[in-house]
Amino acid sequence: MASIVIVDDEKNIRRNLAVFFESLGHRVRAAAGGAEAIAALGDEPADLVLTDVRMAEMDGLRLLEEIKRRDPATVVVLMTAFATVENAVAAMKAGAQDYVTKPFTLDEIRRTLERALELRGLRVENRELRSAVEQAPMLDTESAAMRRLLDTARQAAASDATILLTGESGAGKNVLARQIHQLSPRRDHPFITVNCTTLSEQLLESELFGHMRGSFTGAVKDKPGRLEAAHQGSVFLDEIADLTPALQTKFLRFVQELSFERIGGERTIQVDARIIAATNRDLESEVAAHRFREDLFYRLNVISLRVPPLRERAGDIVPLARWLLRAAGLRNRRPNLRFSAEAETALRRHRWPGNIRELRNAVERAAVLCRSDEITPDDLPDSIFREPGDPGPAPAAAGAAQRPPSLEDVEREHIRRVLAETATLEEAADTLGINVTTLWRKRRRYRIE
């Protein structure tokens, strides 16, 4: 059900449309002109405004502009008996969602309404998703080390100093880099990311600095680089240690002078960009091994921030998982998902060798595969219950003293016996009183063929 305001100076049109939309289950208010419509919207916002274009006091385009000025989220559809390309273009530029030409049938206006409301729903969903994704989960932490890190990051964000982020893969260096940009005076300008591990040397050089037409095979036109795109904003170079020696030399000049030439070009390009670099390696060791330029290291290492792995932030695991679940639920149109107490205990006990990236993948998998709104341990990956390299329960040594079987021993033997006596996994799961996913996980845990 939507809240709709109908604006038309013809009484019959207002009344007929109001009766029709109310029959579809919508709440409808009617206004005879623009001023009356503005007053109605001031009392209560609407999801959609359907307005005539030609009206005496305030025409539909002026009303559209006023509505968008007050509340850009309100969807506006125009009705007109004088449709032209120029009018349509003007309406769309002013923010109209759609327009319908008089005379129209009730079926036509119904379809127009449905399209407009569907697009509005998608916009609202996208805003919620963007809000969930753009919120800063790392800024809300119970870890003293993270609080110190974030205090330093906030202070550094206000400057243009080069920042070097270090820490394990998946620890959230890219998230922190984006948050530093959002906290900086450059927040309204581009945040450009370049991953130094994904391209060959020539392609990465072109990606960073751009190239001129004909400078190498395949360069069919001039192409600006990512550094140019970061003008007045920030450039984030992920895995900076993977730059080749030649690119380290060229990038050193950019760090020193904020200028460069495109591949095959002669014009020097000056760029105003804040540099944030990240690596999961020990750059001082790389310098000592002559794999990374010492002068570039010192240029990058103005402010160094180590992002701790997730296992050092045990108190943040569950809050972070809940935040990730909210975003995953919105992406997958399952906004009511939640973790059971047992699932949260399992998440808290795992050491997360893959850090936030592993946690995100586990949450996304659970959000997609769980069969109810409550995520239980059965919905989590099997790796959550056993650390990497753990082979599972060890068999008893030959000649060892007999001991009563453990609960795991009993369960393993019972599952093995039921599997041997049934034809399919589904039948075995029914016999055991568990679902197939749980049975599959237990087979894997106990290494039952």
What are 26-49's pLDDT values in tens digits?
999 999 988 888 888 888 888 889
Which tokens is 177 given? 């880099």
Q: What is the DSSP letter of 263?
A: B
CATH architecture of 3-133: 3-Layer(aba) Sandwich (3.40)
| CATH architecture, domain 316-389 | Orthogonal Bundle (1.10)
- Of 270-274, 360-364, 397-401, the range with the lowest mean pLDDT is 397-401
Helices (H), 370-435: 407-421, 425-432
* Class for the domain spanning 143-308: alpha beta
Which of 288-297, 350-359, 374-383, 401-410 comes out lowest in average pLDDT? 401-410
Report the phi/psi class of residue 20: left, alpha or beta, with left for phi > 0 and alpha for psi in -120 to 50: alpha
Instruction: Report the run of H or E that residue 64 belongs to, with start and end.
Output: helix 60-70
Segment 352-369 mean pLDDT: 90
Give the pLDDT score at 389: 47
Average of pLDDT values for 389-405? 49
pLDDT average, residue stretch 407-417: 78
Which is more confident, 5 or 441?
A: 5
Q: How far apart are CA 155 and CA 151, in angstroms?
A: 6
- In 3D, which of 407, 448, 414 has the Cα closest to residue 434? 414
**Mean pLDDT in residue range 359-367:** 91
| Res. 395 pLDDT band, cuts 50 70 90 | very low
pLDDT, mean over the chain: 84
Summarize the confidence of residues 327-338 as an average pLDDT. 86
**Strands (E) located in 8-134:** 27-31, 48-52, 75-80, 98-101
pLDDT at 342: 92
Give the confidence band of 71 by pLDDT, cuts at 50, 70, 90.
confident
pLDDT (mean) for 299-312: 94
Per-residue pLDDT of 232-284, as tens digits, reads 999 999 999 999 999 999 999 999 999 999 999 999 999 999 999 999 999 99
What does the alpha-carbon distance between residue 77 and residue 52 come to, in Å, rounded to a whole number? 9
What's the pLDDT score for residue 400? Answer: 46
User: Which residues are within 8 A (CB) of 381 and not within 5 positions of it... i.e. 6 or more apart?
Assistant: 361, 362, 365
- Pick the closest to residue 362 from 373, 371, 91, 350 (CA basis): 350
Q: Residues of the chain with pLDDT > 70: what percent?
A: 87
- The first and second tokens of residue 196, run together, are 């130094």
pTM of the predicted model, to two decimals? 0.60
Question: No. of H helices and E strands in the chain?
Answer: 18, 16
Q: Among 326-330, 397-401, 403-407, where is mean pLDDT lowest?
A: 397-401
How is residue 50 written in tokens? Answer: 């359907």
140-171 pLDDT tens trace: 788 888 989 999 999 999 999 999 999 998 89
Give me the torsion for CA of 296, 300, 305, 309, rounded to 10°: -50
pLDDT at 328: 87
The one-character DSSP state at 190 is -
Q: Note the pLDDT of residue 86.
A: 66
